[in-house]
Structure 1
Amino acid sequence: MPETTNAGRDAAPIEINSELLAHAHVSKAWPFEEARKVLSRLKRIPQPTGSIIFETGYGPSGLPHIGTFGEVARTTMVRHAFRVLTEDKIPTRLICFSDDMDGLRKVPDNIPNKDMIGAHLGKPLTQVPDPFGEYPSFGQHNNARLKSFLDTFGFSYEFLSATECYTSGRFDATLLRVLEHYDEIRDVILPTLGPERRATYSPFLPISPATGKVLQVPIIDRDLAAGSILYKDPDTQKLTQVSVTRGHCKLQWKADWAMRWAALGVDYEMAGKDLIDSVRLSGRICRILGRQQPEGFNYELFLDENGEKISKSRGNGLTIEEWLSYASPESLALYMYQSPRKAKRLYFDVIPRAVDEYAGHLAAYPVEDQAAKLTNPVWHIHEGTPPQADLPISFALLLNLASASNSEDRSVLWGFIQRYAPEATPETQPLLDELVGYAIRYFHDFVKPSKQYRAPTGKEREALVELDKRLATMPDKILAEEIQNEVYAVGKEHGFEPLRAWFQALYQVLLGQSQGPRFGSFVQLYGIENTRALIAKALE
């Protein structure tokens, strides 16, 4: 399986001036805080590779999920911040590493041909057939899915396959060091295991010559001079001697992670909060192998709509493709940038807010000073050169236009937009036109099926009649804020307490949903007569 190098675009040159550099060294944006840790490491530890190596790891036992993308996106942000701090004078590399030599432990829930895959349990993922019938193996299929998305997003990275690194001999020298320090490494891991597992644990997992499976068997003897181990084959019961190099063995997880750090000279790798203990233990093993463990931090995990951790094998939560059906890659990158140490729900209902927050940060960027720009997420998302864009209306408002008009016709939505911004066209506002398409898809799949209108109560009916009267007297060119003031006034005069109950009633009765946009802005965009028609329909 060939190694893919220099995938995606090359890291673009960075223009750095003295003001940018001065603010970068004190910026509280988390990518700069992480980059300063790598800079401090550079001053303490020699770099045998000649470059600073950033790494992300991927276990291709299931289809890639958004958390995988998030790790690459976040690491890219740290890498770019480091390049700024060092004035782009120190070479950097980002390695995306696939643990595709792991044995398949269970059949994922979200794939076809499960029975076929079940017959290959225990084999390295690159030796398991592709259930989709598109690639030589399941591991290669999932690797291709990951690389395809990373390339689409434009990441600059090198893709490494564990299978290729093991079988090509790239890891051989470090594997022999693991054999040399076999007992020390076992001493690190054994206290963390139960009695049964402790009795059989070995950092080396031989690949069975007979079945091709990754074997978890006790090691009877080791031959350092020959670079081999001796074990009893569980199928033949014969003593079998096998080399630890050239892909005849692989390592257990924590020893494998440490070996990779040492072999590749990794300087930075982040990991999920669930791997805190693994990072600590792998760090100890890495030091035994003669290298300092990488810098990094532990991010919080993503949760599905039920508050459960998202999983590749279960396929819960959002997929990369699903997010990109309803919003841009940049909005997804913003979601990854925000509060990485805070657990967040990753489900469809977070998309509209992410889209509008991205647009808001993009609009604010041109008028911010240099210090504020470095804490603006779009600076990190776009590697210091965010595009210019100032959308006349929000994504949330577009969704409510689609909801109120029950239209999935782009031209209908553009008709409303041009009522508010006559100079806007799909050609002059391509980002807004893109959002129109996203809004229509999101409305069709999520808003429309869940719309539930209700009849107004007596109190709400009286307030709606009064609001209709006031709307009837308003001029066509009235400002959204003036409309909003009148809506407030009607709610107060009819005794809604809290006033939020009045607006919730408007959304439920007129739009068939529990929440909505700023109502004055909606009326201005949708049109006074159209809004009065909604009220008339509700009153009927």
Structure 2
Amino acid sequence: MPEQNRNVPNSLPKAWPFDEARKLAAHVEKKGAPADAPALLETGYGPSGLPHIGTFGEVARTSWVRQAYTRLTGRPTRLLAFSDDMDALRKVPDNVPNGDMLRGHLGKPLSRIPDPFGTHESFAAHNNARLRAFLDGFGFAYEFASSTDYYTGGRFDAALRRVLEVHDEIVAVIAPTLGPDRRATYSPVLPIHPRTGHVMQVRMDAIDAAAGTVRWTDDAGETFETPVTGGHAKMQWKADWAMRWYALGVDYEMSGKDLIDSVKLSGRICRILGGEPPAGLTYELFLDENGQKISKSKGNGISVEEWLRYAPPESLGQYMFNAPQRAKRLFFDVIPKAADEYLANVARAGETPADDAALLANPAWFIHGGAIGADDGSPLSFGMLLNLASVANAETADVLWKFIRRYDAAASPETCPMLARLVEHAVVYYADFVRPAKTYRAPAPHERTALADLAESLRGLEDAPTDPDTLQNLVFEIGKRHGFAALRDWFGCLYEVLLGQKEGPRFGIFTGLYGVSETVALIETALIRAPAADAVADASDDAAG
């Protein structure tokens, strides 16, 4: 058995990164790589727009495959974050300044266009810096690679000469996928015009594989002979992708569902060149609030910076980990659920023995690189903090800490650092999303009676020590006593009448946190604020009569 598979168990933890790791291990075995050779995983980035959250997702997910692969095989890995900054700018993004300036550089490589923000030597350098900054901020271990540097520095020269040797075979693969006009002029080689600097999509008049050159004619009728090496030309993107796999020996690269056909074509080209295409995962696309694909050029969806305004980075990791092969909405209302899923997984990990395979299936194990610490969880959920902020009209974190300390005197920002971060985020999320959306409804007559009973029962507990379970049982008993056919209807009443929202917390914990007396006052205020639903209806009938 090959060296790299000696540590691969017959059964794997039930987590998708381990499924991918097994595919990667099989690919490396097929290649017959030396036992100490690191597997090369790659992610690609097109810097024509500002980095967006989907780019982060691809790097995060690939990093988790790395983690699973090393745990599975004991072998090292490398992660190459590759920027296609030799690509031509085809249109001006909607979300950058100085659009008129950029329009004057359409058709040139991104790395040879001035930075519209005025902070870097080129547009690509600006966006590459943005990419690296947020990847560094998340602590990813990666190597950054610039297409421009690889082309001009000679890293691709041998592979580019090989492209010329099999030029016609590559054309035969791509041409059937093109329209008649583009098919007539297609070449995988895109020479850079020596005068205009434009990336040229033109027919090749002649290919000289031995010399490593191509001859072509521009629109003005002038003919040029251009070397494909040294950054004087680049490849069309499907051929470029295949050439990169071949030149660098890429073992794994995932891609979106919209690139399924491109992956197949690039795989065929890679084999023509003499390489083996990498293993990989096809992930589903993120959708914005309107169900449309998010786009870095349009700037729809959520940016990394926006997500981190409302929740900690671990919650974003949780969102990215969940079901990568299922399309998901990526909008602000998914943030609280992701935060609480993360917290639940940290709590579950704390109860799982270190040698239990279930730990390796826990998203928190991946998010924290296999080392989950005591400070990574929180005694209170993000949803609970949002509900507390809602009823307390919390404008600052101090308001929430007043209630938290009464609930748990030992809790503080120093003893509960994750809770401290969640509190700060909850205040901001409440102000921007919860408060504007609150809609209270009037209770029906039987709900009004039950609420009054709950207030009276809680009043009897104001001076007695109570725990969340006791309070929760009391709420259950009153719901049953007042004939709610389904207790979820009773809890729905509590959320909609008292909190002004469709869903809410475990009410016993909420009451313990907010305070028994305060909860009584909350109920009484709601009953005063909202007359019974039938009274409103009767008044309307009287007015109509």
Q: Same fold (TM over 0.5)?
A: yes
Q: Name 1:3's counterpart in structure 2.
A: none
Q: Name 2:119's counterpart in structure 1.
A: 134
Q: Name 1:362's counterpart in structure 2.
A: 346
Q: Deviations over 1:13-38 (max 9, x none)?
A: xxxxx9xx676963232212211222
User: Are 1:112 and 1:132, in contact at CA under 8 Å, matched by a contact in 2?
Assistant: yes
Q: Name 1:10's counterpart in structure 2.
A: none
Shift of 1:530: 1.0
> Within 2, Cα distance between the matches of 1:283 and 1:224?
22
Counterparts in 2 of 1:199 and 1:135: CA distance versus 1, 3 Å = same
Q: Name 1:30's counterpart in structure 2.
A: 16
> Within 1, Cα distance between the matches of 2:130 and 2:205?
40
Instruction: Note if 1:195 corresponds to 2:183.
Output: no
Q: Name 1:4's counterpart in structure 2.
A: none
Q: Of 83, 98, 114, which residue of structure 2 is paired with 1:113?
A: 98
Q: Of 183, 188, 212, which residue of structure 1 is paired with 2:197?
A: 212
Q: How does 1:46-85 map to 2 (within 5 A)?
A: 46-47=32-33, 50-85=37-72
> Within 1, Cα distance between the matches of 2:30 and 2:339?
42
User: Are 1:24 and 1:32, in contact at CA under 8 Å, matched by a contact in 2?
Assistant: no
Q: Name 2:81's counterpart in structure 1.
A: 96
Q: Name 1:294's counterpart in structure 2.
A: 278
Q: Name 2:492's counterpart in structure 1.
A: 504
Q: Name 2:289's counterpart in structure 1.
A: 305
1:380 maps to amino acid: F
2:326 maps to amino acid: K
Query: More displaced, 145-154 or 30-39?
Result: 30-39
Q: Of 393, 404, 415, which residue of structure 2 is paired with 1:428?
A: 415
Q: Of 245, 249, 255, which residue of structure 1 is paired with 2:239?
A: 255
User: Are 2:114 and 2:123, in contact at CA under 8 Å, matched by a contact in 1?
Assistant: yes
Counterparts in 2 of 1:23 and 1:180: CA distance versus 1, 3 Å = closer
Q: What is the percent sequence identity of the aligned residues?
A: 58
TM-score by length of 1: 0.92
Instruction: Note if 1:375 corresponds to 2:361.
Output: yes
Structure 2: 5+ residue stretches without partners: 1-5, 529-545
Q: Name 2:388's counterpart in structure 1.
A: 401
Instruction: Note if 1:229 corresponds to 2:253.
Output: no
Give the SS at the match of 1:220: strand
Shift of 1:497: 4.6
Structure 1: 5+ residue stretches without partners: 1-17
> Within 2, Cα distance between the matches of 1:23 and 1:421?
44
Give the SS at the match of 2:124: helix
> Within 2, Cα distance between the matches of 1:414 and 1:295?
49
1:332 maps to amino acid: L
Counterparts in 2 of 1:494 and 1:37: CA distance versus 1, 3 Å = same
Q: Of 441, 462, 467, which residue of structure 2 is paired with 1:454?
A: 441
Instruction: Note if 1:537 corresponds to 2:521.
Output: no
1:451 maps to amino acid: K
Give the SS at the match of 2:54: helix
Query: More displaced, 142-151 or 335-344?
Result: 335-344
Two-structure CA RMSD over aligned residues (Å): 1.9
Q: Of 388, 408, 419, which residue of structure 1 is paired with 2:374?
A: 388
Give the SS at the match of 2:91: coil
Q: Name 1:148's counterpart in structure 2.
A: 133
User: Are 2:283 and 2:324, in contact at CA under 8 Å, matched by a contact in 1?
Assistant: yes
Instruction: Note if 1:412 corresponds to 2:399.
Output: yes
Counterparts in 2 of 1:23 and 1:331: CA distance versus 1, 3 Å = farther
Kindly indicate whether structure 1 or structure 2 has the higher relative contact order, using CA contacts under 8 Å at least 6 residues apart.
1
User: Are 1:466 and 1:490, in contact at CA under 8 Å, matched by a contact in 2?
Assistant: yes
Q: Deviations over 1:51-78 (max 9, x none)?
A: 3111110111111111111111111111
Q: Of 166, 173, 176, which residue of structure 2 is paired with 1:181?
A: 166
User: Are 1:24 and 1:84, in contact at CA under 8 Å, matched by a contact in 2?
Assistant: no
> Within 2, Cα distance between the matches of 1:25 and 1:96?
31
Instruction: Note if 1:326 corresponds to 2:310.
Output: yes
User: Are 2:54 and 2:286, in contact at CA under 8 Å, matched by a contact in 1?
Assistant: yes
Give the SS at the match of 2:395: coil
Q: Of 462, 473, 487, which residue of structure 1 is paired with 2:475?
A: 487
Q: Deviations over 1:471-512 (max 9, x none)?
A: 212244222233223323433444445443332332222222
Shift of 1:434: 1.1
